[in-house]
Amino acid sequence: MTTPALGQFSISLAVNDIAKSKKFYETLGFSALTNCGSVADKWLIMQHPSCTIGLFEGMFSSNILTFNPSDVRAIEAHLNAHNIEIDSPVTSSKGPGHCMLKDPDGNVIMFDQH
């Protein structure tokens, strides 16, 4: 069985103060993407030439490794075929969706198809 493409990688950071975090990451050279959240929405996506991060205030309690595949259902089927436990399975049969699981060390991984 071929491993499905994982898509773009980013890390989703659980932050305490999104405005403060945004300013910090801007100092490191990140820029907020337009139409991808806002400080008022308490989430936003920031891009640096070499990486992407998401800042999320009050949405979850830990950082999340995030992949944006083109087919989250294929990834879920692959994980199921390898008996990997999925904590939050895809809930729709087509279109956008996501699933979440933990690696052996408890790190949360999300496969999020837009």
Is residue 17 one of the residues assigned to a domain? yes
Q: Residue 94 has what pLDDT?
A: 86
Q: Residue 1 has what pLDDT?
A: 63
* Count: domains in the chain: 1
| Single pTM value for the model | 0.84
Contact 47/29 with Cβ under 8 angstroms?
no
Give the chain's residues under pLDDT 70: 1
Q: Residue 53 has what pLDDT?
A: 96
Is residue 1 one of the residues assigned to a domain? no
Is residue 108 one of the residues assigned to a domain? yes
| Pairing, β 97-102 against β 51-57 | unpaired
Is residue 95 one of the residues assigned to a domain? yes
Contact 54/11 with Cβ under 8 angstroms?
yes
Nearest partner of 46 among 79, 24, 22, 77, judged by Cα: 22
Is residue 52 one of the residues assigned to a domain? yes
Question: Domain of 27: which CATH number?
Answer: 3.10.180.10
Domain limits for position 25:
8-113
Q: Which residue, chain included where needed, has tokens 């820029």? A: 31
